[in-house]
Amino acid sequence: MTTILVADDSATMRTLLELNLKKLPGVRIVLAKDGADALQKFEAEKPTLVLTDLHMPNMSGFEFIEKVRTGKNDKHTPIVIVTTRDEAESRQRGMDLGASAYVCKPINGAELVQVVEGCLAGITAAPAS
C-alpha cells in the first residue's frame, strides 16, 4: 500500500488533492493541516511520498522539508511542492532543500497525478540501498 501525506492549510486544497490522488490504485491518503502536523504524521505514518504547500501556519513547507531531510535524515522519500509561488528563487530553494518536484497552483489534476506517478516510479526503479 502506498501512503501519500498531503500537507496544505487550505481544506479546499486538501479535498481537491485527495480526490486527484485517489485516482491512483492502492493509495492511502493522510492529510495534514500545516507543517507541524505534517511532521508529526510523517513520523507516525512513514509515507511513501509527500505533497506539501509552502505557505502554511505554524511551520512552512520549506521548514518541513528541511526537518525531514536533515532532522529526520530522510533523503529518499519524494517530496512534491504544490504552491502558488512560481518564483525561480522559491523553486531553487525547494530543490536545494531536497524536494523532488515543484508544481504550481492552480493545479491540473492529470498533470499532478503524472508527477506523482513519476516520483513513485523513481522509488521502484531505484536500487535498494
Partner 1 sequence: MSVRKPEEVVELLQQASELTRDLMTENQRLRRRVGEAEVESQKFAERFAQVQDQSELLQNLFVVIHRLHASLELAEVLATLREVVINLVGSEDFGIWSVGGAELSLLAFEGNEAELRKLPETTGAQIRGALEREPYFRPDGESLGLTAICPLKVGERAMAVIVIRSLLPQKPRLSENDRQILEVLSNQGAVALMSAQLYEQALRESKSLRIEVRA
| Chain residues that interact with partner 1, rule: CB under 8 A | 10-13, 15-16, 19-20, 84, 86, 104-106, 108-110
Whether omega for the bond prior to residue 106 falls within 30 degrees of 0, making it cis, is yes
**For partner 1, which is the closer residue by CB, 36 or 104?**
104
Shortest Cβ 22–partner 1 spacing (Å) = 11
Q: How many CB atoms lie within 10 A of CB 7?
A: 30
Locate 111 and state its grid cell: 498533470
* CB of 83 closer than 8 Å to CB of 105: yes
Nearest alpha carbon to residue 66 among 44, 99, 31, 33:
99
Shortest Cβ 113–partner 1 spacing (Å) = 11
**For partner 1, which is the closer residue by CB, 59 or 104?**
104
Shortest Cβ 64–partner 1 spacing (Å) = 19
